[in-house]
Amino acid sequence: MKFIDLSLPIDERAPEVHPFGIERLGHKAGVRHLNWVMMKRTLRGRIAFFFGKRIINPGDLPDEEFLSLETVHCPVHIGTHMDYSFHYGSAAEGHPSKYIDEVPLDWCFSDGVVLDLTHKKPGEVITKEDAAAALGKIRYTLKTGDVVLLRTGADKFFGTRDYLSNYPGVHPAAIAFLLDAGARIIGVDTLGFDRPYKFMMGDFLRSKDPSFLWPAHFFGRKREYAHIERLANLDKLPPFGFKISCFPVRIRNAGAAWVRAVAILQ
């Protein structure tokens, strides 16, 4: 059995569209922090702390180290993540939208299928015809529950400014085609499901046509489905014949959550 990580890290060094950061408390500094947490609860304790008193000294701990602590201040749309109904709008298919912790778990462990769409250029859209042709090329018929992964190759830009804009978007007709064929989750190795902001907004500002604005996301108001953004390493997978695990982190009343997507090959 072979495992292939399909996820990108949450990395504060990478250029991002949303501000975020990670506070990292090391082992040595952790000793001081531990004492502060214990002593700050009372005025007497805070005063004693600032005058150098400690409840636990470094010498009381192995190697004079405590535990590391990382605090992540991060939107759920950074790193590999899954978007679900509530993210797209307040209603889907005429009913109140569902939150990410309501995604059916059986959707998140299933057979995976990779469609090669690396010929699509930045700013273009992946059409229904593109998806159908990619399926025909691998001679695969989708079945209910298949997780479809769209490979554009854009993950190779991660960590650079190009990652923010060098990718195609997904047309709603392509999404409908895949859902009609049985998919419930569709993933892509790009920053987002829609075209990059500069292309989308450029077309909208020129035409004043609102259909250019986030059409793939807004399609989730018409059809209930989940999509995964920011996948990686799809080039390491066969077209089909593998399982994918993509369970989202359980966050209450959220429209999206981080995913550790993993392909499992026998």
Structure-block tokens of residue 91: 């209603």
Percentage of the chain exceeding pLDDT 90 = 98
**Residue 145, Cβ density class (10 Å: 0-12 exposed, 13-18 middle, ≥19 buried):** middle
* Helix ranges, the chain (H): 27-39, 43-50, 85-88, 128-138, 172-180, 197-207, 215-218
Write out pLDDT tens, residues 89-131.
999 999 999 999 999 999 999 999 999 999 999 999 999 999 9
Rounded mean pLDDT, 74-98: 97
Q: Please state the domain extents for the chain.
A: 2-11+76-265, 27-67
pTM: 0.93
Write out pLDDT tens, residues 197-212.
999 999 999 999 999 9
Residue 87 confidence (pLDDT): 98
Q: How far apart are CA 12 and CA 78, in angstroms?
A: 10
Classify domain 2-11+76-265 by CATH number.
Answer: 3.50.30.50
**Strand, helix or coil for residue 38:** helix
According to DSSP, residue 7 is labeled: B
